[in-house]
């Protein structure tokens, strides 16, 4: 089931994870029940995923994030908005981001 994303809302990276850039890849270790488990599932983000991730600071709405990325990557805004929403849905479903705004 897809998590419901609101483009006008702001989202922030969850505090229950640790992320580090290792050899060009962002490795994300979720903290589940007080444990960062390397034997369990870890997550990675590719370069453009990292660009989205870096902007999820709880201040900018997803719409603003998409707009900024559209300018940075010189890509159609609609396409970028779709991809940002898709990634945000995945991240929210896995509790890697949380909604920061009340919207």
Partner 1 sequence: MVASPDTQFKPVLGTKKGKELFLSSQHLEELLKGVLDKGACFRFQGKGLSMSPFIKDGDILTIAPLPTASPGLGDVVVFTHPNTGKLIIHRVIKKGGGSYLTKGDNVPEGDGLISRAAIVGRVIKVERNGKHISLGLGPERFLIASLTRRGLLFLLRPVWRLVRFFYKGSVR
Residues of this chain that interact with partner 1 (CB under 8 A) are 15, 18-20, 22-23, 27, 29, 31, 34-49, 51-52, 69, 73, 75, 79-80, 83-84, 86-87, 90-91, 94
Bridge-based pairing state of the strands 10-13 and 57-61:
antiparallel
Say how many C-beta atoms besides its own lie within 10 A of residue 74's C-beta. Answer: 6
Judged by beta carbon, residue 8 or residue 37, the one nearer partner 1 is 37
Across 29-40, b (16+ Cβ under 10 Å) vs e yields: bbeeeeeeeeee
Minimum CB–partner distance for residue 103 and partner 1 (Å): 22
Residues 6+ apart with CB under 8 A from 51: 69, 72, 73
Minimum CB–partner distance for residue 101 and partner 1 (Å): 21
Minimum CB–partner distance for residue 102 and partner 1 (Å): 26
- Written as six digits, the tokens of 90 are 């995945």
Minimum CB–partner distance for residue 20 and partner 1 (Å): 5
Judged by beta carbon, residue 58 or residue 86, the one nearer partner 1 is 86
């Amino acid at each position: 089931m897809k998590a419901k994303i609101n483009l006008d809302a702001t989202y922030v990276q969850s505090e229950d994870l640790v992320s580090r850039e290792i050899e060009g890849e962002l490795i994300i270790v979720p903290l589940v029940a007080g444990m960062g488990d390397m034997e369990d599932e870890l997550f990675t983000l590719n370069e453009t995923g990292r660009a989205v991730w870096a902007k999820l600071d709880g201040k900018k709405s997803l719409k603003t994030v998409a707009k900024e990325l559209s300018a940075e990557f010189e890509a159609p805004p609609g396409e970028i908005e779709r991809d940002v929403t898709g990634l945000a849905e995945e991240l929210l479903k896995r509790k890697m981001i949380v909604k920061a705004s009340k919207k």
